[in-house]
């Protein structure tokens, strides 16, 4: 099984790549953080998604995990057009493009797994992060549509929506906002951040044969944050 994880240099993506079994292929922007992998592709999805698209086709990827993403915290009136274009390109346009390159091989095999890492912000919305929320909401909608389109070919498409995750990105996002990490934790029903290992475990399940009937789902892995407070 050939598995590609984008954004694998750190955080959730790195943990996913280190957890899964199979022929692991990874991508990220920093070669220094990828060199310990056997198979890697250095790629900035905002500028050169086509390079990774070719890499996917050359290596006949069975499982595509779209994990790479970027976050911006800003009042809407301060958003610039380049910021808007950048977030949408990385968080929504690039994943859809990569899926388009992976699907032909998956169809030929009558089997495939596509897992998009969304965000609870795309489910609930997040004040001050409208671009991020919009891009992740779009990814959730696209996943549902693609699950319908690809179901007859044995390809499943699902989205995992982490809440606050104990990673470098998660902690820096907390620092950029209007609340301290302790204040954020107080608003989470389980009073904790989710771990990257929990996300990787959900990915591992969705790849398995036991999950072959799970498709088109938007799975909130958020320590209860989406339920209410």
Question: Which residues are catalytically annotated?
Answer: 132
The single residue listed with the structure tokens 């390109």 is: 89
For every residue of 152-163, DSSP letters joined together read GGTEEEEEEEE-
Pair of tokens at residue 216: 């088109």
Q: How far is CA 126 from each of CA 106, 135, 169, rounded to the nearest angstrom?
A: 35, 12, 16
DSSP β-bridge partners for residue 194: 165
> Exposure pattern of 109-146 as b/e (b: 16+ CB <10 Å)?
eebbbbbbbbbbbbbeebebbbbbbbbbbbbbebbbeb
Q: Rounded to 5 degrees, what are φ and ψ at 228? A: 135, -175
Report the C-alpha gap between 34 and 199 in whole angstroms: 20
Report the C-alpha gap between 192 and 165 in whole angstroms: 9
């Amino acid at each position: 099984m050939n598995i590609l994880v984008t954004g694998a240099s750190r955080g959730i993506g790195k943990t996913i790549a280190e957890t899964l079994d199979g022929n692991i292929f990874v991508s990220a922007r920093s070669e220094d953080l990828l060199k310990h992998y056997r198979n890697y592709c250095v790629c900035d999805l905002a500028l050169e998604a086509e390079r990774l698209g070719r890499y996917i086709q050359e290596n006949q990827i069975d499982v595509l995990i779209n994990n790479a993403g970027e976050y911006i915290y800003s009042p809407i009136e301060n958003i610039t057009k380049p910021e808007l274009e950048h977030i949408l390109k990385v968080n929504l346009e690039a994943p859809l493009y990569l899926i388009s390159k992976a699907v032909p091989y998956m169809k030929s095999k009558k089997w495939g797994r596509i897992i998009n890492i969304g965000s609870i912000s795309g489910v609930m919305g997040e004040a001050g992060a409208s671009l991020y929320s919009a891009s992740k909401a779009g990814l959730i909608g696209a996943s549902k549509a693609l699950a319908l389109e690809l179901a007859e070919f044995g390809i499943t498409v699902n989205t995992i929506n982490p809440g606050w995750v104990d990673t470098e990105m998660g902690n820096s996002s907390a620092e950029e906002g209007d609340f301290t990490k302790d204040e954020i934790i107080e608003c989470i029903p389980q009073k904790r951040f989710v771990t990257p290992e929990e996300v990787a475990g959900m990915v591992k399940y969705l790849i398995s044969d036991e999950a072959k009937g799970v498709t088109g789902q938007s799975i909130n892995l958020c320590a209860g944050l989406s339920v209410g407070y």
